[in-house]
Amino acid sequence: MSKTWEHYHHAARNHEKAAYHYNEAAKYNQAEEHEKEAHHAYLAHGYGQHAAHHETEAAKQHAEECGSKLTPASAQAGQKKSVA
């Protein structure tokens, strides 16, 4: 399993958890149970932050993978131009 995929997977799971806690916070807001609402909002925010972290790491990993794939080809293109 690639690191990029792992990060995307963790980001998706954290988004799901954040959505659940945002929904719970909304329920407690309607019921005017503000301590429980604040708790779920806090958890949702944390999961959102974790998701953003994993998305960033996945993007970095993807860029590194694409960069390493492009580097040999660009190096060969540079050698062909210098030979000609």
Say how far residue 26 (Cα) sits from the centre of its chain: 24
pLDDT at 72: 55
User: Residue for token digits 């929904």?
Assistant: 23
Q: For 38-71, how does the pLDDT look when each residue is reduced to its tens digit (9 = 90+)?
A: 999 999 999 999 999 999 999 999 999 888 765 5
| C-beta neighbour count of 61 within 10 angstroms | 17
Q: For 17-38, how does the pLDDT look when each residue is reduced to its tens digit (9 = 90+)?
A: 999 999 999 999 999 999 999 9
pLDDT at 71: 53
Angle among Cα 39, 49, 15 to the nearest 5 degrees reads 85
**Helices 3-30 and 34-83 meet at what angle, rounded to 10?**
160
- Rounded CA-CA distance 81/73 in Å is 13
pLDDT at 70: 59
- Rounded CA-CA distance 7/11 in Å is 6
